[in-house]
Structure 1
């Protein structure tokens, strides 16, 4: 499932290609045909992300120019958006939503959610989510309030979108490693003085992910160039410490990286480095 930085990149991509321009909208696959008809011909006036949720705003009302309708998209495990330039080709495969203007188009395939919602419904979705480190309104204190009252393991809390929005399996594993935290440590044992730097580090890593389109979490002294090691080869790309590195030597201490199932997801950590 794409992590939050990918959704923020998609929001920026939609604004860059379609912002302020009337669009042709259709649903070649069919299930979103009614929604596509409602926004067909309207300008895209907003595109934003909150965690793993993408919101595309159409039309505007009032002097503030707030969107009248929003398309709510959650890619889930299999969804993806592809952008193209020039004239859009004939639809091939299952395209849930195609947005098109002169010279550019975007195809949405396989999302878990694609729904036309009102501004109030959009706000209701956002209210269920925790703060997003990539949003200017992201409030680390709100996340810490829930973490500090929980007996649940930190590794599970960081993946709970009601606690912290946008963090997926990779950022979860890597941020815990970078701060030397035992993934099984109960949330209520995390000190506020540790949470602040962790949030700031996470925001910086995810911001860099938005910029580059990949997840890189290793510090300069642990890059392939600095260590004289081969670059990591993985479909997710990026240089990491522990994610999908089970049974390999830790880049920092040389000990064996471990893996286990936690909340139906694979957890990766270094027991020697993450004792805190």
Structure 2
């Protein structure tokens, strides 16, 4: 499932291409036909993201609310020179948006629906603060973390606690903080939480900028260490994510993996030592 930086990047991409312009909407698949018909020919006002939720705004306080889920994907394109129509439909397209010689296709989302202000507000209300939003308050996440006995690694993946953080940012932020992922939330200090939050703000903003997740510090890049670049469909340079059995880039201890709350957890037992009870 895409992490929050991807959704914010999609919001920026849609705003750049369509905001302030009249758009044509259709649903080649048919599952969003009524919604597309309702907003077809309207001006797209803007786009925003909260965690893994994307909102495309239209007049009259109406939004297309998209959650990509595990299989959802957007594809963008532009009209070819001398051609007055968008590219061909590829695959099962839930929503096609056509603007001024540009278009986007949405395939396979978990959710694509029109919502009102009240419905949109309800989505925001059930989500924790998003490190990429200017209105985010890290104290809201801290209030939930400090009351919980759940492992901090589980809490960071709970979208009610913190919105937008997925498995990669979870593993990498905890490694960079030197924090045992199994440590109960209520035993994490406020100073440590503030450091994790600030780190996520910086890392995820960089993720939006370069459109991938890179978490290693300058001294641990392939160029600095004289090592081969990471080869993985994730694409970025990381410390522990999907590096099971490989030596830690800092201490050479084998990176470990276990299942926690249904997701794979990666960590280094040396760089992230257990805390005394």
The 1-side partners of 2:88 and 2:228 are apart by: 42
Aligned pair count? 269
Task: Check if 1:17 corresponds to 2:17.
Answer: yes
Return the TM-score normalized by structure 1: 0.96
Task: Check if 1:209 corresponds to 2:211.
Answer: no
| 1:125-144 correspondence to structure 2 within 5 Å | 125-144=123-142
| 1:115-194 correspondence to structure 2 within 5 Å | 115-194=113-192
CA RMSD, 1 decimal: 0.8
Structure 1 residue 93, shift from structure 2 partner: 1.9
The 2-side partners of 1:129 and 1:229 are apart by: 40
Task: Check if 1:32 corresponds to 2:32.
Answer: yes
Corresponding residue for residue 56 of structure 2: 56
Query: For residues 127-175 of structure 1, what are the alpha-carbon distances to aligned partners after superposition, in whole Å with 9 as ceiling and x for unaligned?
Result: 0000000000111000000000000000100000000000000000000
Query: For residues 195-249 of structure 1, what are the alpha-carbon distances to aligned partners after superposition, in whole Å with 9 as ceiling and x for unaligned?
Result: 1111001100000000000100001110000100000011111100000000000
The answer to whether the 8 Å contact 2:43/2:59 transfers is: yes
Query: For residues 90-115 of structure 1, what are the alpha-carbon distances to aligned partners after superposition, in whole Å with 9 as ceiling and x for unaligned?
Result: 32321000000231000000000001
The 1-side partners of 2:240 and 2:90 are apart by: 38
Task: Check if 1:69 corresponds to 2:62.
Answer: yes
Task: Check if 1:8 corresponds to 2:8.
Answer: yes
The 2-side partners of 1:209 and 1:102 are apart by: 28
For structure 1, the 5+ residue unaligned runs are: 61-67
Corresponding residue for residue 223 of structure 2: 225
The 2-side partners of 1:73 and 1:108 are apart by: 9
The 2-side partners of 1:26 and 1:220 are apart by: 46
SS of alignment partner, residue 13 of structure 1: helix
For structure 2, the 5+ residue unaligned runs are: 80-84
Corresponding residue for residue 63 of structure 1: none
Runs (4+) off by over 6 Å:
none
| 1:60-99 correspondence to structure 2 within 5 Å | 60=60, 68-86=61-79, 87-99=85-97
The answer to whether the 8 Å contact 2:78/2:87 transfers is: no
Corresponding residue for residue 64 of structure 1: none
Structure 1 residue 180, shift from structure 2 partner: 0.5
The 1-side partners of 2:90 and 2:70 are apart by: 20
| 1:265-276 correspondence to structure 2 within 5 Å | 265-275=263-273, 276=275
SS of alignment partner, residue 88 of structure 1: coil
